[in-house]
Structure 1
Amino acid sequence: MVSEILLVGIGGFIGANLRYLVSGAIPRINEIPAGTLAVNTIGSFVLAALTFTSVEGTLRYMISVGMLGSFTTFSTFAYESFRLLDEGESKHFLMNIGLNLSSCLFAVYLAYIIV
């Protein structure tokens, strides 16, 4: 149990830093927070690929719970979407929601096909 907790923590450290680097490197595109879109799409693909394979045990905890749990960011997506709506950017609000949902579902489907 202790080793699993440590691995989740290590994965969380890695995922949080990757999220910082990836989302910070990608600028907004037409008011859409593309960095958040990118990490959610990448995270959806990696989690689906991991789920559709036979990876088990502590490595799975480290990657799925730890790394991807801190890498993907639904709370940031929700906040950024709300800010767009609050700023009167209704079109960009809907685009952001649609892009996040469709790209993440497509990433899961792509992982399913590949694996």
Structure 2
Amino acid sequence: MEYILVGIGGIFGSVTRYSIGKVTSKKWNCSFPVGTFIINITGAMLLGIVSSAVKNNMLHSFLGDGILGGYTTFSTFMYEGFNLFKGKKQLNAFNYIVLSIILGVAFYGIGANIGGLI
């Protein structure tokens, strides 16, 4: 049952990520990958909340591993960061990678604190 919940959650998460990516790429036409950045930072915060607030293993699997696992995307983060370097946009690549890591950790912590209050 847990695998089914993770799979269903993954569908919701990946469709949400895809939709947000499409909307942000149309809205902000720039070399900085805004969509993936927003997705990964908000996903880190939401995972912090889920990890601190949800004590039910099945619900945690559905929300954390399923939805948020499908929502966030490390592979796209690496792909876009590498392509920025390759495209001679080293400053954007550096900012994207460093800010994603620092803010990802910070927003996970913020989410964990919020989750602890729930």
> Which residue of the partner structure matches residue 107 of structure 1?
107
1:36 aligns with 2:36: yes
1:96 aligns with 2:96: yes
1:56 aligns with 2:56: yes
> Which residue of the partner structure matches residue 13 of structure 1?
11
Identity of aligned residues (%): 29
C-alpha separation in 2, matches of 1:104 and 1:13: 23
Could you tell which deviates more after superposition, 25-34 or 43-52? Answer: 25-34
> Which residue of the partner structure matches residue 23 of structure 1?
21
> Which residue of the partner structure matches residue 73 of structure 1?
73
User: Could you tell me how far 1:114 is from its partner in structure 2?
Assistant: 2.1
Whichever residue aligns with residue 53 of structure 1, its letter is A
Q: Secondary structure at the match of 2:32?
A: coil
Q: Secondary structure at the match of 2:53?
A: coil
User: Could you tell me how far 1:29 is from its partner in structure 2?
Assistant: 6.4
Q: Which runs of 5+ in 2 are unaligned?
A: none
Instruction: Count how many residue pairs are aligned between Structure 1 and Structure 2.
Output: 113
Q: Which runs of 5+ in 1 are unaligned?
A: none
Could you tell which deviates more after superposition, 30-39 or 72-81? Answer: 30-39
